[in-house]
Amino acid sequence: MPSPRETVLAALHARMSVLRATALRGEVLPERVPAGGLLILRDGEPGKPEVTLSPVAYHYQHRAEIEVVVQGANRDAAFDALCASIGTALAVDRTLGGLCDWIEAEAPQPVDLPVEGAAGLKAAVIPVVLHYSSADPLG
């Protein structure tokens, strides 16, 4: 049975997979960016939990990251639309079907990256804070 951490991250990846962009998890940046854009979910850092006793529960504010990459002539508009679609997808259900207490994205800090012999890339990392609890710090 997967841990609460893995269950929440898998649900976040599934939520990103319904978007127009290609959604990967923990993969390296491919040589070509798909026309609809690319999202790569990084598991991030669960951080130090707050602990409550009786019963013991570990309350995490896990910081995952979604790398957003678009390429092409309309990359500014495509980037903006993709970031907006991520926000909309998260706002539909901020508990990921009851798997976590709350999910909140932070603002991206976009950068333009030149590519020799091809259209440039526009990319950013969107931090996503996942609030959830577990009965075991390893589970």
Q: What is the 3-state secondary structure (H, E, C) of the chain?
A: CCCHHHHHHHHHHHHHHCCCCEEEECCCCCCCCCCCCEEEEEEEECCCCEEECCCCEEEEEEEEEEEEEEECCCHHHHHHHHHHHHHHHHHHCCCCCCCCCEEEECCCCCEEEEECCEEEEEEEEEEEEEEEEECCCCC
The second-level CATH assignment, the architecture, of 4-132 is 2-Layer Sandwich (3.30)
- Quick: pLDDT tens for 79-100: 999 999 999 999 999 999 999 9
Task: Categorize the per-residue pLDDT at 14 as very low, low, confident or very high, splitting at 50, 70 and 90.
Answer: very high
pTM for the model: 0.93
Place of tokens 């996942």: 130
Q: State the pLDDT at residue 113.
A: 86
Q: Which two structure tokens, joined as six digits, stand for 100?
A: 């976590």
In the chain, domain spans: 4-132
Residue 119 reports pLDDT greater than 80 = no
Greater confidence, 71 or 114? 71
